[in-house]
Amino acid sequence: MDNTLWHFGDSYSRWGNEPIGFSEFIAKNYNLKHNHLGISGHSNELIFGDILRNLNNFKKGDLIIINWSFFTRTTYVDNDNNILSLNNIIAGIKPQTSVNYNLYSDDYLRFLIDESHTFQKEYSIKLFKNLVNPLLNYLIQKEITPISSFNCFVSNEIIDRRISYEMIETPNTIKWIRDNFGYKNFLGVNFFEGDEQDHYKNGIQEKLANKWIEKIKYQKII
């Protein structure tokens, strides 16, 4: 068991109070060590940063699972120079003032909203095509297997600003249902979806892992 399954992502990479999660079952299936680094609320930029920080730890033959987050999440720098995730600004939750986010000004908050809301498609294309994809292709060349899963590709409120898989062209992306790449859609169809606090129903983690294994193209290097 020299190789490792690395798991990055947002809250969809986590499994609440379940004793064993789906990526742990996947690691066991491939006889891999398991290193779980998913963080609830993470944006795609923060997930990418987590992967970069572990770049020197990856080895030939490792498997990397990435639960990419919603495209409508963005990051911000607060007054203490922390880089944080700005969540839910598209989900009908009205942002409050800059003070609530420990920001320097309301203008910065408005800029963040516009970037994530109005220009979320352009921002995501830049992030993935210019930064994420070159790194993932580098890992593939090093015989490390990154597997990408996306929550969904369509903004619920701005249908004409939808993002398609073809726009970002991320390698090794799981197509969950026919031509649908959306993980949330897959969870709903298979009755795996939980509530707002816990994305997964209780007791389905092993079944969910088997669904992932069906989609993952990974061959352990001996």
pLDDT at position 96 is: 65
| Contact between 121 and 163 (Cβ < 8 Å) | yes
Q: What's the rounded mean pLDDT across residues 103-125?
A: 82
- Of 8-12, 87-91, 151-155, 210-214, give the lowest mean pLDDT range: 87-91
Q: Which tokens sit at 137?
A: 């292709």
Cα 163 to Cα 133: distance, rounded to the nearest angstrom: 16
pLDDT at position 121 is: 82
The residue among 4 and 217 whose pLDDT is bigger is 4
Contacts of 134 (CB under 8 A, 6+ apart): none
pLDDT at position 117 is: 66
Evaluate if residue 154 carries a pLDDT over 90.
no
Cα 144 to Cα 63: distance, rounded to the nearest angstrom: 6
Q: Considering only CA atoms, which of 189, 17, 32 is closest in space to residue 7? A: 32
pTM, 2 dp: 0.91
Q: What is the 3-state secondary structure (H, E, C) of the chain?
A: CCCEEEEEECHHHCCCCCCCCHHHHHHHHCCCEEEECCCCCCCHHHHHHHHHHCHHHCCCCCEEEEEECCCCCEEEECCCCCEEEECCCCCCCCCCCHHHHCCCCHHHHHHHHHHHHCCHHHHHHHHHHHHHHHHHHHHHHCCCEEEEEECCCCCCCCHHHCCCHHHHCCCCECCCECCECEHHHHHHHCCCECCCCCCECCCCHHHHHHHHHHHCCCCCCC
Evaluate if residue 106 carries a pLDDT over 70.
yes
pLDDT at position 46 is: 95
Q: What's the rounded mean pLDDT across residues 18-43?
A: 96
pLDDT at position 75 is: 87
Q: Where are the domains of the chain?
A: 4-73+120-215
Tokens 């921002």 label which residue? 123
The residue among 154 and 82 whose pLDDT is bigger is 82
- Of 35-44, 106-115, 169-178, give the lowest mean pLDDT range: 106-115
pLDDT at position 63 is: 97
* Terminal alpha carbon distance of the chain: 10
pLDDT at position 1 is: 61
Evaluate if residue 78 carries a pLDDT over 80.
yes
pLDDT at position 7 is: 98
56-75 per-position pLDDT tens digit: 999 999 999 999 998 878 88
Q: What's the rounded mean pLDDT across residues 141-148?
A: 96
As to burial, measured by CB atoms within 10 angstroms (0-12 exposed, 13-18 middle, 19+ buried), residue 146 is buried
- Give the whole-number percent of the chain exceeding pLDDT 90: 59
**Domain 4-73+120-215 sits in CATH 3.40.50.1110:** yes
As to burial, measured by CB atoms within 10 angstroms (0-12 exposed, 13-18 middle, 19+ buried), residue 129 is middle
The residue among 47 and 96 whose pLDDT is bigger is 47
Cα 117 to Cα 126: distance, rounded to the nearest angstrom: 15
Centroid of chain to Cα 11? 8
